[in-house]
Amino acid sequence: MKLNLSLQQEFKSSDLVLKRVQLKKTIEVTLRHVDIDSDCEIGIACVDHEESHRLNLEYRGKDKSTNVLSFPSDIPEEVLPLLDARPLGDLVICIPVVLQEAIEQDKTAHDHFMHMLVHGTLHLLGYDHELSDEDAEEMEALEIEILAKLGLENPYLER
């Protein structure tokens, strides 16, 4: 599997240093865990509160910033065989929200960001925790398994 990663860091923080190789590994482990081994493309934008708020309001009708927004590719299935890599879509990750949540949840910024990266990637693949309790449990279980493969703790444990 080859992963093409586009990374836009419109917002940076010295509290969270992102390394492209680590981001790619996290996404690749996620994809392999759900049995995707074809070449893929993904875009990641790291943004501030204002941009996250604007996008969350525009696309989800929610008047606040949020940790991660997922925009799955809408390329028709019949076109996919013509492409060199399967476009998964784009993730928009709000760094200030991730940093604040990490503090509130007593986690490192790095670990929480990686969780949001796995979580968002699963959304791009069609997983959704808001449809039913069963869907939420399935998605959480996948996240726990994937993060364990990456050497990260279960993010849902109470601290």
Q: SS3 for 27?
A: helix
CB atoms within 10 A of CB 92: 23
Encoded tokens for 69:
């927004």
- State the binding site: 119, 123, 129
Judge whether 155 and 109 are in contact, CB under 8 Å.
no
Binding residues for Zn(2+): 119, 123, 129
The Cα-based distances of 110 to 48, 50, 101 in angstroms read 17, 22, 12
Q: Could you tell me the end-to-end alpha-carbon distance of the chain, in angstroms, rounded to an integer?
A: 36
C-alpha span between 60 and 62 (Å, rounded): 5
Contact 8, 44 (CB under 8 A): yes
Q: Please, are residues 93 and 116 in contact by the beta-carbon 8 Å criterion? A: yes
